[in-house]
Structure 1
Amino acid sequence: MKKIKYLLLFVFTSLVSCDSDDTNAPIIDEEGKEVALVNPFPNLSFNQPLDLQSPDDGTDRIFVVEKRGRIVVFENDSTTTSVTDFLNISTISSASEQGLLGLAFHPNYSSNGYFYIFYTPNANLAVVSRFTVSDDVNVADAGSEVVILEIPQPETNHNGGQLSFGPDGYLYIAVGDGGGAGDPDNNAQNRTNLLGNILRIDVDNEDNGLNYAIPATNPFVNEASVRPEIFAYGLRNPWRMSFDVQDGSLWAADVGQGAREEINTIVSGGNYGWRIFEGNSCFSGDCETTGLEAPIFEYGHDNGDRSVTGGFVYRGTELPSLVGKYVYGDFVSGRIWALDTANATNALLLEPRLSIASFGTDNENELYVCDFGGTIYKFALRNSE
């Protein structure tokens, strides 16, 4: 899975932009301990894990999404020896960058049992569906599917696939440009379709025969010929987005074409420039910057970095040195960084050489990383001596 193609080695875009290596000093807390990765579930392995989620339902469980169509659930405990199949839709298309790509639990999951997935039932379509948990809290009702939204896919790559509920209670959906080198149909700048966008919908209401409603505050609801679901646009392949649980800001990493990778903070109505720009570099057309949102960071490919994987602003308690920093990685190089926007610095955090497919958090906002090879790791502290 080339995951989603290309990227990385940070460059602080709006404030700094270069291809020199970033800070290599380890991040050490006041007690002299370094950030490290540990295997918190040594008895478990997974098949191409792409997402990790934990519902806010009063339990301490972890759900892992596997590319080929399975969601598994298990207790967040190092002694756990097995997983339970929560949902299995393995008849889907999982070639190239397709598959079961995202999972989000409804904010009221503990009372309504609703969860949402993003998957590709065939090579030409992406679907967002709602399912309901069964009477067994560890097993979904496989027959409860309600298709919420269908998105035609011209190619098998650049699907995006992240789902996340915002602090406003709406469902945000990351969608790639439809694939093909250089966005040949200019989908990311074409707001008459749903490709190359961050979408925002209201899944608690219905409008005009749809299984969802359009939030009245969406930025383009009053513009003719523009899809009102669009919250932000101009994205190539947003591979992983997340909300900062403290301030509500939305962060998304966007995989580059062949030279620049970028990280953005997503704002309502923002145009993030693809295919006019790749990062801060002109890609096609007149490359006029008026009306475009510059990335928070960009980086090049000079050091083996090729495909950015977006992470989280860390808000846990076990790693004081990371609080407030955006932690992200690269699928190809297997390196992990911590981006401190307050000081305009980007520090190399770890070089585990994993195939970093996704990050996730548990109910305590502690941070995990999904290795596409089949292992889940947790960020922890170790003595630097």
Structure 2
Amino acid sequence: MRTLLLLLLAAISFSLQAQPIFNLELINDDLSQPADITNAGDDRLFVVERAGRIRILDADGQLLPEPFLDINDRVGPANGERGLLGLAFHPNYADNGYFFVNYTANDGDTRIARFQVNAGNPNTADPNSEVILFDIGQPYGNHNAGDLAFGPDGYLYIPMGDGGSGGDPQNFSQNRQSLLGKMLRIDVDNGNPYAIPPDNPYAEDDFTLDEVWAIGLRNPWRFSFDRETGDIWIGDVGQNEWEEITFQPADSEGGENYGWRCYEGFEAYNTGGCEPESAYTPPIHTYNTGSSDGCSVTGGFVYRGSAFPALYGKYVYADFCSGKIWTLEQDFAGNWVNTEVFDGPGGEYATFGEDSDGELYLAELINGRLYRVEATCNQSPPAPAISGDAIVCGPNDPAVLNAGDTPDGYLYRWYRDSTYLQETLNGTLSATEPGIYHVILAGFEAGNCNSLVSAAFEVTTADFPEDLISTQGDDLSAAPGFESYQWYLDGEPIAGATSATYTPVSSGTYTVEITDVNGCTRESEALTIVSTTLDLGLAEVRATPNPFRTTLDLYLEANVADTYQLRIFTLDGKLVWETAAMVQNDWQQQVDLSRTASGVYLLQISRDGQQYTRKLVKGE
């Protein structure tokens, strides 16, 4: 049984099918071929220009005149799919000033390198601080991919294209001895210049390069981590038929094979020498290349900002050719729901990016425009108005949090202490751990908007002492100070035995159930102090002194003359002394326990299957 304290549930009315209004707010139109957008954990926005420069927009959205970094002389011609393409700040950038870039070197190879900010000026980096992690040969000029990002685990992830041309003619994506067509994962905090994470899926595999995290990508131009869940989302540009959105859950151990060149989307492409279809992980969504939807997917982000609840929890992505923008998310049944929210047209949307607050930005490559992604609702449903306290009575007796019924087209997303837990359709959650629980009403059908504002449940656990039952002479004693008690003999309740102490009147196994002020109950361990001295035939039993130090004086006075078995045990059942005593009227003996350790012992006296037990304490 469990109790919910002070649970307040306000009446909620929902407006179904609220239509989101998607908008791109122009932030700056003075950039040159922006290819990536990111942040350094502060209020600045960093934009990568393909020719080899990184620019800064300050907190007011003003473009600083001096580049943060200019390596134009090292970057190959910024044409086709080449140039300075990716930027990632070290998770500990505030302390070490390290950031990493992905660019096409003058010889056409992909280069992954580390730079460092100038110590005296946070708005400029030292171009001479470059440390090259590795170069990857590019046999053709396209399919360079170009992104990179740090995962929640602190490792650097680098998606690589298949090397170019068309159809992966040299089968690089499925070649386990090539870094092309793979997702790479490296440790930049160890090794020289990097180390292999020990849990990389192929770290101990002689047939696959150690850096490989996943296999079978074609041209993963943009990818991202969901900053809340840690899931990976990849926009993989297709060949002739299908643009792909690929998904890797946060709990993946890596090693997925996403299928290219054997499969494009869900369809076979070139299966010569390939494994069965079941060996590959398909995308979660595709759309047709060359259709009105576009020709080249631009992967985006799951929106986790606070300014536009209409987008919260939705993956936002675009197409470079058509200028269309969509959202993608999972409904409560696990189905992926794709919704077109914007039709450019055109725009050449090359990259999305997040600021430190999780707000989304989008850049046009050719026109050099930077936009903030916005979405509002005509009628956004109000958040569930919940608050209160709840008690978890025990691991098998959770607190049931109830935020009301969910209207059609919506579900509830639950969080504990800012950690995502799960989604529920009916607004209830079984809470088994203490913490602050929040809930967000999320729309998954076309037109439904999310609501970000929520109150919270504070969940605590019932407070019971470790020892609930003990013996005091002939009495049994329960932990004091609780609301109610019920004693049991051999699993059956004893009528009227509802106080904190109880004197056994017959043999058996005794337990007590204790209830606190919140209605939480806890059952004690069982004690088999199965009879009283009178039942045993003894008028009196004395063990003095108790507690004792070295010796113990035992005295028995019998109502029934007979032989009594006396034993002394440790609490874990080890026998330390025993004797058989023929008691006519009375009997006494001194027991030497000087060689036993201090602690609690049990004196057991038995006759004809009856048994009496008393607790003894040996002091230091």
Relative contact order, higher structure (CA 8 A, sep 6+): 1
Measured in 2, the distance between the counterparts of 1:247 and 1:383 equals: 25
SS of equivalent to 1:238: coil
Is the CA contact (8 Å cut-off) linking 2:298 and 2:351 kept in structure 1?
yes
Structure 1 residues 74 and 297, CA, compared in 2 at 3 Å: closer, same or farther?
same
SS of equivalent to 1:316: coil
Name 1:377's counterpart in structure 2.
371
Residues 7-30 of structure 1, C-alpha deviations (whole Å, 9 max, x = no match): xxxxxxxxxxxxxxxxxxxxx999
Q: How does 1:131-280 map to 2 (within 5 A)?
A: 131-134=115-118, 135-206=120-191, 210-266=192-248, 267=252, 268-280=254-266
Deviation at 1:238, TM superposition (A): 0.3
Deviation at 1:81, TM superposition (A): 5.5
SS of equivalent to 1:77: coil
Is the CA contact (8 Å cut-off) linking 1:74 and 1:83 kept in structure 2?
no
Residues 320-369 of structure 1, C-alpha deviations (whole Å, 9 max, x = no match): 12111110000011110001222521111111221110000111100110
Measured in 1, the distance between the counterparts of 2:324 and 2:226 equals: 22
Measured in 2, the distance between the counterparts of 1:169 and 1:30 equals: 40
Is the CA contact (8 Å cut-off) linking 2:200 and 2:211 kept in structure 1?
yes
Name 1:75's counterpart in structure 2.
58
Measured in 2, the distance between the counterparts of 1:29 and 1:151 equals: 52
Deviation at 1:31, TM superposition (A): 8.0
Measured in 2, the distance between the counterparts of 1:294 and 1:359 equals: 24
Aligned residue type for 2:171: N
Measured in 1, the distance between the counterparts of 2:233 and 2:344 equals: 23
Name 1:360's counterpart in structure 2.
353
SS of equivalent to 2:95: helix
Is the CA contact (8 Å cut-off) linking 1:243 and 1:312 kept in structure 2?
yes
Structure 1 residues 117 and 355, CA, compared in 2 at 3 Å: closer, same or farther?
same
SS of equivalent to 1:225: coil
Name 2:46's counterpart in structure 1.
63
Aligned residue type for 2:198: A
Alignment pair present for 1:35 and 2:22: yes
SS of equivalent to 1:73: strand
Measured in 2, the distance between the counterparts of 1:185 and 1:317 equals: 46
Measured in 2, the distance between the counterparts of 1:219 and 1:82 equals: 43
Measured in 1, the distance between the counterparts of 2:286 and 2:295 equals: 12
Measured in 2, the distance between the counterparts of 1:40 and 1:384 equals: 24
The equivalent position to 2:318 in structure 1, one of 308, 325, 329, is 329
SS of equivalent to 1:144: strand
Is the CA contact (8 Å cut-off) linking 1:128 and 1:147 kept in structure 2?
yes
Deviation at 1:309, TM superposition (A): 0.4
Measured in 2, the distance between the counterparts of 1:61 and 1:30 equals: 36
Is the CA contact (8 Å cut-off) linking 1:198 and 1:231 kept in structure 2?
yes
Alignment pair present for 1:300 and 2:288: yes
Name 1:345's counterpart in structure 2.
337
Measured in 2, the distance between the counterparts of 1:254 and 1:204 equals: 29
Structure 1: runs of 5 or more not aligned: 1-27
How many residues align? The count is 350
The equivalent position to 2:308 in structure 1, one of 316, 319, 331, is 319
**C-alpha RMSD of the superposition:** 1.9
Residues 43-87 of structure 1, C-alpha deviations (whole Å, 9 max, x = no match): x5100001001111xx31010001111101121324x26443011
Residues 191-246 of structure 1, C-alpha deviations (whole Å, 9 max, x = no match): 1010001100000000xxx4100000000011113110000010000011100011
Aligned residue type for 1:371: E
Deviation at 1:90, TM superposition (A): 1.0
Deviates more, 1:31-40 or 1:344-353: 31-40
Deviation at 1:381, TM superposition (A): 3.9
Identity of aligned residues (%): 45
Structure 1 residues 31 and 263, CA, compared in 2 at 3 Å: closer, same or farther?
closer
Is the CA contact (8 Å cut-off) linking 1:29 and 1:320 kept in structure 2?
no
After superposing on structure 2, the runs of 4+ consecutive aligned residues of structure 1 that deviate more than 3 Å are: 28-33, 381-385
Measured in 2, the distance between the counterparts of 1:226 and 1:61 equals: 40
Deviation at 1:151, TM superposition (A): 0.7
Residues 109-135 of structure 1, C-alpha deviations (whole Å, 9 max, x = no match): 000000000011124311100000002
Aligned residue type for 1:73: I
SS of equivalent to 2:238: coil
Q: Please identify the structure whose Cα radius of gyration is greater.
A: 2
Measured in 1, the distance between the counterparts of 2:97 and 2:325 equals: 34
Measured in 1, the distance between the counterparts of 2:49 and 2:63 equals: 18
Measured in 1, the distance between the counterparts of 2:258 and 2:64 equals: 43
Residues 288-344 of structure 1, C-alpha deviations (whole Å, 9 max, x = no match): 312100101111132151000000011111111211111000001111000122252
Name 2:87's counterpart in structure 1.
103
Structure 1 residues 384 and 227, CA, compared in 2 at 3 Å: closer, same or farther?
same
Deviation at 1:35, TM superposition (A): 2.1
Which has a greater percent of strand?
2
Measured in 2, the distance between the counterparts of 1:74 and 1:84 equals: 11
Structure 2: runs of 5 or more not aligned: 1-14, 380-620
Is the CA contact (8 Å cut-off) linking 2:285 and 2:336 kept in structure 1?
no
